[in-house]
Structure 1
Amino acid sequence: MKITGLSSLNRLNHANALLSQVLRDDFRQAPSDVVVAAGEPAVLECVPPRGHPEPTVSWKRNNARVSNKDDRISMRGGKLMISHTRKSDAGMYVCVGTNVVGERDSDPAELVVYERPVMMRRPVNQVVMEEETIDFLCEVHGDPAPTVRWRREQAELPRGRFEIRSDNSLRLTGVREEDEGTYTCMSENSVGKTEASAMLQVHVPPQIAIKPRDQNSAQGRNVTFRCGTRGNPSPAIFWKKEGSQMLLFPGQHFSQSGRYSVSMSGELSITDVHPEDSGYYICQAISVAGSVLTKALLEVEGGPSHRVPPIIRQGPANQTLALGSVAQFHCHAIGGPSLKIGWEKDGKKIVEDDPRMNLMENGTLQITNVEDMDSGMYTCVVSSATGESSWSGTLTMREDGAPGSSVPRVSESIQLPGPPQRPVVTEVTRGTVTLTWQSNPHEGGAAVTSYIIEAFSQSVGSVWQTVADRVKREKHTVIGLYPNTVYLFIVRAVNSYGLSDPSPISEPIRTQDGSPTEQGVDHRHVQRELGEVSVFLQKPVVLSPTSAQVSWTVSRQSQYVQGYRLLYRCTGSVWLVQDVKAGPELSTVLSDLRTDTEYEVKVLPYFNELQGLDSPLVLLRTPEEVLSAPPQAVSVVQLSNSSSIRVSWEPPSDDQSGIVLEYKVWCLGSDSEMKTESHINRTVDGAVLSILLTGLLPDLQYNVMVAAVTILGVGEHSPPIDLVLTLSLDMPSDPLQKDSSLSLSEQITGVVCQPAFIAGLGVAPWLALMGFSGWLYCRHRRRKELGHYTTSFAYTPAVGFAHIEGSGLSNGSRPGMLGSNMGNVTQNGKDSVNCCSGKLDSTDRYYNVAISNYLSQSEKYSSVSTDSPIYSTINTAAAEDLQGSNTPCTQGSNTPCTQGPDSYASTPVLSNFGFFGLVQDLDQWTIQSGQSVEYTKMQYARTSNGTGTNCTSHVL
């Protein structure tokens, strides 16, 4: 019974326990939606349902358990906290309550993570020109997409001229000066806002608000020119007189005795005006936005009617001289009695403290005994009350030391062309004048190659200026002149010898005034229109070595284009201008170009003084041609009383292009009565400027000409120079007799070029060579004869003789192995030994005597003794007799032999110095069979003095 009751109690307790474990369905606090900005903390709160035991809380995001391993995420007391939210944290979150009964899911709650607006591209400050279009950028990112607005600080946006584009940028069109200010881009969304600002600055080019007017004034009065300007930023104003380098700024007083001043408002005042104050005065306004100028003319009455600066008729010429020569620079001018002539060297005034320099009364500068330091540019400066003129020439020393003329070669007036006639005006515009003239019948020593035009304007400056050169025809249009300006013109002719005197001065010519259409025209609008015109040059077409056709295209036309200004220049030089009026033909021909020269060419549109943009540069190269001008300053000088002449010259004029490779010189002589011809043609290198011609015939008419040669051929030759050589009867026709004025190097050149001197130089080496060959032959012959004796001696069988005191040897006997029928070696005779001299020297004498003694002893003694040395004493007296005798010493001869040896002597048979040559031969002797090896070499014991020493000789 007890057991049964206990079991029932346990079952009852278990049932009660099951009944006490509960988890309700409804959450006491369900999570709610949360919206946060990225980077901010987010908190999701949740209170689970009631239950027993108390349920725990966990979270799911998008049906996936949320892990708390991320440091940013924490779960405490049913709260889910994310410390630094990210865009990836967004999603649907569910709170999960769990106990032993099970788990309950809450309704989902959404976590929304938004992004604040972020400026990806901010607006930047801008500086623009007036009437331009600009864009302020403002690129913004954010979530949700932010809204963008623009505002202008302290003002409204320009009405009708702004636009907020789809990319949120702000565009302003036709900006004006009043549009300057700060512009701000504002961006905002639900989680934040941001803004960025930029400044706009509008530059306005300077403009002339009050234009100065032309004025006429009497001498001694005061004159004021007003000049009002405007622009942004405010331009600076300054004045200058046309043709002068002096700038006049506000608030400063200047030279001219303080008569010039400029006020702070920009007014130019001139007090006590003088006639030289006449001219154009330019008011110029300048700023970072550009510049503009205007000018007004001042004419002062009461001055001289013709205030023309002096004119230099003939100026200094370029010269190349030798050291020690005399240089003369001429300077002849016209222009009134008050002319003053001064000289400068390399820009510095010449002071007459050097005794070698002399300024003559006629203005000529003479330098005697020129030196290297005298090289340079010499300028003649002629001044008067009306202005000044200058002319320069260079002096160069010959680098190679070649002789030069003692007096500089200055072209004679008869060789220069005559002055052209007075130029006449045929057409005048606001910037050009067309002149025509007639040439002078007198062309001088050579044909006229071109003309030079000079101009003077009192309004522009106080000097004559070259406005055109290398003019080929008697008609030319001078360009680049100022409008409403009076000009005077003169013309000079040019040939290979130099420039002519100036032509008479032309009548005063006033260029036209500005175009009537200029009045009332908005310069800013015209400048803007010209700036939009684009001009493109086409490839130039070369028509000839001196001309080319230039064409261009225009992408956008404008009604304000009056014409096109063509600018061209040799690379690195000043620009030349040629204006072409607007029309259907967009091309022109450039003439008077230099051959074999590269030009830069560009073109631009213009309207009066206003100009458009330059076209891109185009290169033009003219081809090379044969030189059309001959060498200059050709001169012929006869060497004193000789048949030689020196021809010298200068290179062709500078306007001739092409590299001179060489010069050809012709000296053509003929006599029609005698039917005699003598032609001498020579060619020299292009760097040589003189040549010596020899062998000319006297009393024969010669014509001398010189021409330069380029890669294309021979150019124009110089005018012929007539020459007839005359030789004085009272003086020898010796080319070595030179004029006292000739330099030493020139005299030496005359000697070297003579045929006799050249022939002597050719024969002398051959004579010396023949003499030397004869000497070698005699020497070789002597050695050959001595070699003959040595050979006979070498093949004599070796014998030896014992020395026996007191024994005497018969001088007439022939001992040894040689039989009586064998000929004596000495029968060859002494003359065979010394074939050339006829007299033996000491060495040869001793050598002959030694051989004779040896042969005599060989006949006396037998060949039994083979190891005894041979000793002999040479009798010098007998040697002398031997030398003087022509009869050989033979056995049985009636002539006594004087070569018998003494019984004993310490001197070797052969002398020490005589053996030196023999030892070398003995080394080559053949050893006959049966002979001892001991005799294969000869050994000698020598001392310094060669005497008193016993020598053992082993003889083969």
Structure 2
Amino acid sequence: MVYSLNTWEIFVMISAADIRPIFTQEPQDVIFPLDLSKSEIILNCAASGYPSPHYRWKQNGTDIDFTMSYHYRLDGGNLAISSPRTDQDIGMYQCLATNTLGTILSRKAKLQFAQNFQIRMNTVRIMLFFFFFCFPDLFYAWTFNDNPLYVQEDNRRFVSQETGNLYIAKVEPSDVGNYTCFVTNKEAQRSVQGPPTPLVQRTDGVMGEYEPKIEVRFPETIQAAKDSSVKLECFALGNPVPDISWRRLDGNPLPGKVKYSKSQAILEIPNFQQEDEGFYECIAGNLRGRNLAKGQLIFYAPPEWEQKIQNTYLSIHDNLFWECKASGKPNPLYTWLKNGERLNPEERIQIENGTLVITMLNVSDSGVYQCAAENKYQIIYANAELRVLGKSFIYNQKIQNDILASYGYT
């Protein structure tokens, strides 16, 4: 439909129209490094709307009272936490944006603190195989005899990114020397190195050929998120040096998208999907025999919207029917909110999973509503405004809404 309005009329209509709050920026999870010189954490939040929204915050479901403490302050819509403390500030935060039409509640953001870390080391020396222990963290590398280059992985040598351990399946004379572990913690924004640790090859006896022994195993059960990259580690000691191969135990072939490390010790499944779940097996073999390790990958998916609620304008005494649908594994559970507060069933309000029915509407039903879909991994929100008007206003309101939409004000 085309409306014949001059520029001034359009300007007046847009300027006078109330627009519900819409988030343009929501808070994100934060891991704050304790050993940095920073003395403040900023959780971001911003929303558009007319009139301009004002903001408040919840910590662990409770409103933050900015009048009682200078520890928290508002910077626009952002939450600033000065001199953060682990005992007081850790937890879940949500931003609320409010104007005359109602309130919306943001996603949950988790604040955690990255602890200082040090390397703890132990060594095990055996004539034909060898491994170092390094304190678990994010990224591990090893150097040899002060060489600036990291030890390169091959069929004999493997660095586990799960534990930090360096494994040498069959020690050769060229391996004798000093090894140093480097640990990088990206969240804490620092790296540390362990002390040089010597590898000395024993000469009191010769170990003959023996069957593989798997030293690096992936867990028996792994929860794998949709679209994530899953890595399974498997490395074996043995003489001769074992070969590593992989297979699925459910009769299906390995996904065509799988990737392998140079030594085959890491199987990577990028963009993990439902059809990729199942039992996987690692086979380590040499001339003396073979050894097996297996585990199950279980698919899960945070909620994703299939159907959202839309802004709705109705007359007094009309009935409202809204439905939202989300996919996810496990299946999401639904809750409804009005102006940031949970909506409970009553005589006129019926709630069943993703459906909301309000009969015999009155003006007090107007507001900003949210359908929340949640499983154990995440919660997501779909937002919409309900405006209950006298019948004479409905037609004009629909015209106004169409015009606002054409200018990007939805």
Taking structure 1 as the reference length, the TM-score comes to 0.19
- Name the one with the larger helix percent: 1
